[in-house]
Amino acid sequence: MKDRLKRIAAESAAELVQDGDVVGLGTGTTARHVLQVLRERVEKEGLRITGIPTSADTRILAVKLGLRLSTLEEHPELDIAIDGADQLTRRLELIKGGGGALLREKVVANCAKRFVVVADESKLVERLKMPVPVEVLPFAWKPVELALREMGALDVRLRTGSGKAGPVMTDNGNYILDASFGEIEKPERLEAELRDITGVLECGIFCPAIVGEVHLGTRHGPRVLGQGREVK
Ligand code: 5RP
């Protein structure tokens, strides 16, 4: 069922892509649906797009699907970027980084004229409350962990994965700390505080200033949230 809702969100957002667009390609299972829908549009409509992938995982899928790719070096300004989220609110606050791609995702989102988020409706919450992924320089992970605890983190975990012993390495060669703060009352302030810690490269809080709209997949079809109001 969730997969169907992700596809609904992906179809709704992928409609926004126009011929000739440079498109930021997000990471995660919902973003994978977006790539699939874009490939279908390329085949059926002859849509010409250039994708900028936000992770190695997305790049590999895009190559497999035959999507044309480029880099931020060649295209530092994107027409649109479409990406998933782990948790989001009606006020367009997000937590991202479940797939460990938050740093490149935020760079790409910032370079895009329009940043569109896709998610199934289960991601919508009243207040952000899941642990916040924080990408850190490996050299600095311990002092950053202490700084996170000092600023009020209830728990901080160095992310580990499967298929490899030890910490997960991001595509940028860094570590991820997942820091729990309970319910986050002021995501914008927390984002600024986290980015201010020396050794932190980026955090997974995305604020309304860069989020243009959210396309939710629901049982009744797509639902679009934009800047605090429903627009579709
Ligand atoms: C990866 C992300 C993903 O967009 C986020 O984890 C959502 O993934 P999914 O669509 O698989 O639930 O931020 O870093």
CATH, domain 2-124+207-226, list 3.40.50.720, 3.20.20.70, 3.30.2290.10, 3.40.50.1360: 3.40.50.1360
User: In the 8-state DSSP scheme, what is residue 126?
Assistant: S
Confidence of residue 35 (pLDDT cuts 50, 70, 90): very high
> What mean pLDDT do residues 55-75 have?
98
How far apart CA 72 and CA 111 sit, in angstroms, is 9
Q: Evaluate if residue 228 carries a pLDDT over 60.
A: no
Ligand 1 pocket check for 222: Cβ under 6 Å: no
Per residue in 186-205, pLDDT (tens digit) is 999 999 999 999 999 999 99
Q: Which residue, 230, 202, 232, is CA-closest to 92?
A: 230
Identical fold between 2-124+207-226 and 132-203: no
The pLDDT value given to residue 29 = 98
Task: State in Å: Cα 149 to ligand 1 middle.
Answer: 25
**pLDDT for 1:** 86
Ligand 1 pocket, residue 131 CB under 6 Å:
no
Residue 227 burial class via C-beta count within 10 angstroms: exposed 0-12, middle 13-18, buried 19 and up: exposed
Q: Which residues lie across from 52 on neighbouring strands? A: 24
Tell how far the Cα of 70 is from the centroid of ligand 1, in angstroms. Answer: 22
Q: How does strand 87-88 pair with strand 94-95?
A: antiparallel
Tens of pLDDT, residue by residue over 88-118, are: 999 999 999 999 999 999 999 999 999 999 9
What does the mean pLDDT of the chain come to? 96
**pLDDT at residue 232 is higher than 70:** no
pLDDT over 80 at 227, yes or no: no
Q: Under a CB-based contact definition with an 8 Å cutoff, are residues 30 and 9 in contact? A: yes
Contacts of 168 (CB under 8 A, 6+ apart): 100, 159, 160, 161, 175, 176
pLDDT of residue 181: 98
Delimit the domains of the chain by residue range.
2-124+207-226, 132-203
Condensed to tens digits (0 to 9), the pLDDT of residues 52-63 reads: 999 999 999 999
CB of 79 sitting under 6 A from ligand 1: no
| Residue 231 pLDDT exceeds 70 | no
Average pLDDT estimate for 75-81 = 98
pLDDT 10s digits, 173-187: 999 999 999 999 999
C-alpha of residue 85 to centroid of ligand 1, in Å? 5
Site to probe by mutation for ligand 1, drawn from 27, 57, 108, 134 as the one with most ligand atoms within 8 Å of Cβ, is 27
Between the CA of 115 and the centroid of ligand 1 the distance, in Å, is: 15
Strand partners, 51: 23, 69
Q: Look at residue 229 and tell me whether its pLDDT is greater than 70.
A: no
Query: What are the residues facing 119 on neighbouring strands?
Result: 216
Sign, CA torsion 179/184/188/193: negative
CATH number for the domain whose boundaries are 132-203: 3.30.70.260
- pLDDT for residue 85: 98
- CA of 73 from ligand 1 middle (Å) equals 25
158, 141 in Cβ contact below 8 A? yes
Q: Is the CB of 86 under 6 A from ligand 1?
A: yes
pLDDT over 70 (residue 220): yes
pLDDT of residue 230: 53
Interatomic CA distance for residues 25 and 50, integer angstroms: 10
Nearest CA, atom 5, ligand 1:
85
Give the CA distances from residue 51 to residues 5, 18, 112, 204, 213, in Å, rounded to whole numbers and listed in that order. Answer: 24, 12, 12, 22, 20
CA torsion through residues 192, 198, 201, 204, sign = negative
Helix intervals (H) in the chain:
2-14, 29-45, 56-65, 102-111, 141-150, 187-195
The response to whether residue 102 sits with its C-beta less than 6 Å from ligand 1 reads: yes
Give the pLDDT confidence of 108-153 residue by residue, as tens digits.
999 999 999 999 999 999 999 999 999 999 999 999 999 999 999 9
Q: Looking at the chain, how many residues does it have?
A: 232
Can you tell me which atom of ligand 1 is nearest the CA of 123?
12
Average pLDDT over residues 61-84: 98
